[in-house]
Amino acid sequence: WYLRASIRGVQKMWLVALVFSIVAVAIGGVSCAKQEGVASMATSRSSSPITTAATFTKNELQEHNHVWRVMNKACFGKWSGTIQGFRMDKKTNSPIFKDNDELLNFRLWAKANTNWMGKKKDTGTWTVWNLQQKGDELIVPLRRLPLSKPSQLKIGFHPGCVLRIPSNFKRVPRSVFELGYWGEGVRRTVVLEYLTSDKNKHMELKDVTLVTQRAVPWHNAALFVGNATVSKDIDILPQMAPFDAKDVIQKNKQWKPLLVERLELQNMERVVTTKNKMTTDDKERAMHILKRLVQNSDDCNDSYNMVLSNGLLTSFPKHMSGKENGDGTTTTKSFIFAHKWGHGRPFQALVIDYDSMTGEGIAAVMYSYK
C-alpha cells in the first residue's frame, strides 16, 4: 500500500501509519495487532508448499498467484527515490504539499526467498529504509498466500500494475486505495485515503501520498546500501506535473482500445476481451475513459482530474458517499489510474468501480490502447 523525522504530532502519526500500509505490499500471516497497521498483500505459482489456515476459492487462488507473478516480474529488485504526501484544496482543486522540509531518500529492496539451489520460494521480504529518518529500517515478510483472508483485495495486471483496494469501502476502519505502475526502470505509486467526516458523515478524501523510485541497475546492485542517501534520487519526484493530460491523449487521437481485462471484485472472475471481440459498449466505455482524463477538475463536481507529479494520469472521487437515483439505481464511484508506457507499449488506463450506496466493489477493468 508513504516520511520524515521532522513531521510533527498527528501529521507524523498518520503518515507513519500510512507508510506501514504502503510498504507491506505483500504480507500474510502477521498478528492481528500488526494487521491493523500493516496491509496484507500476498500473492505465483508455488515452488514449495505453504500451510494456510484460510480457504480460498479457485478464482481467489488464481488472483493471488497472478499478483505474485506480476510482483516477481515488475516489483522485485532494489529501488531508490522519495515519498511525499499532500492534501487537496477544495477551493482550487489543486494539491497542497504537507511539508517544505528536506525529503528523504526512500529506498526499497523487495525479493523472494530462495532455497539452497537458488530456486525462488513463495515467500520473501520487503525492506525499506529512510522511512521516518535517515538510516531507519523496516522489514516486512511477503507471502504468496496469506494465512487469513485480508480485508483488502490485492490485484495485478501485466506488465507491471499492482493495486490494493477494499472489497467494500464501508467495512474497513479507513478506506485506502493504493495503485502502482512498475516498469521501465521507474516505480510510480499513489495512495488515496478516505475518512468519514464528523460534520456530514460523508467519507471524504483526506490525503494523497506519492512514491516515485528508480530501479537500481543490475550492474550497480552489489553496491546498493539500504540506509545510504543518494541525493539525486530524491529529485525524481518533481513538485509539478511533468505534462498535461491533453498533451498525451488529444495528441494521440488515433488511439483505439486494444484489450479489455475485467476482474469482477466480488467473485474475482477475470475475463480478457481482445479487440476483435469487443462489443460496442466496450469500445464506447474505453473512449469515454480517455475523455474523462482530459476533463478539468473544475468541470467535475464529484472528482479530481489531474496528472500527478509522478506522471500518473488520474481521476478519483472527492468523496465516496452517494445516493439513489430517481430510477432506483445507485451512483457508481470510479477511480481511473492511467500510465503511458514507452518503447511501443500500449497506453493503459485502470478503472475501479464501486457502488456508493452499499460500498461494494464492482470491477477493476484495465483498458489498453494503441
Tens-digit pLDDT profile for the chain (370 aa)? 333 433 334 444 444 545 555 454 433 333 232 333 333 333 333 334 444 447 899 999 999 999 999 999 999 999 999 999 888 888 888 888 776 667 899 999 999 999 998 899 999 999 999 988 899 999 999 999 988 888 889 999 999 999 999 999 988 878 999 999 999 999 999 999 998 877 766 788 989 999 999 999 999 999 999 999 999 999 998 888 889 998 888 777 789 999 999 999 999 999 999 999 999 999 999 999 999 998 876 666 788 999 999 999 999 999 887 665 555 556 899 999 999 998 888 999 999 999 988 999 999 999 999 9
Helix (H, G, I), strand (E, B) or coil at 145: coil
* Beta-strand relationship, 161-166 and 152-157: antiparallel
* pLDDT at site 32: 31
In which element (H, E) is residue 103 found? none
* pLDDT at site 47: 37
106 phi-psi bin (left φ>0, alpha ψ -120 to 50, beta other) = beta
- Distance, in Å, from the CA atom of 261 to the CA atom of 62, rounded to the nearest integer, reads 15
Burial class (CB in 10 A: 0-12, 13-18, 19+), 99: middle
- Distance, in Å, from the CA atom of 202 to the CA atom of 200, rounded to the nearest integer, reads 5
* pLDDT at site 89: 84
Q: How far is CA 27 from the centre of its chain?
A: 15
CB atoms within 10 A of CB 332: 12
Q: 155: closest CA among 165, 169, 170?
A: 165
94 phi-psi bin (left φ>0, alpha ψ -120 to 50, beta other) = beta
**Residue ranges of E strands in the chain:** 77-89, 94-97, 106-114, 120-129, 137-143, 152-157, 161-166, 175-183, 186-196, 203-215, 257-264, 270-274, 303-307, 313-317, 332-340, 347-355, 361-369
- Distance, in Å, from the CA atom of 68 to the CA atom of 53, rounded to the nearest integer, reads 19
Q: 28: closest CA among 109, 143, 126?
A: 143
DSSP H helices, 31-170, are: 32-37, 58-70
CB atoms within 10 A of CB 90: 11
* pLDDT at site 369: 95
* pLDDT at site 278: 96
* pLDDT at site 324: 55
* pLDDT at site 323: 62
Q: 314: closest CA among 323, 322, 305?
A: 305
Q: 233: closest CA among 81, 104, 83?
A: 81
Residue indicated by cell numbers 464492482:
362
* pLDDT at site 11: 45
* pLDDT at site 239: 81
Residue indicated by cell numbers 469482477:
264
- Distance, in Å, from the CA atom of 361 to the CA atom of 129, rounded to the nearest integer, reads 33
Q: 103: closest CA among 222, 236, 244?
A: 236
* pLDDT at site 238: 86
Q: What is the pTM of this model?
A: 0.84
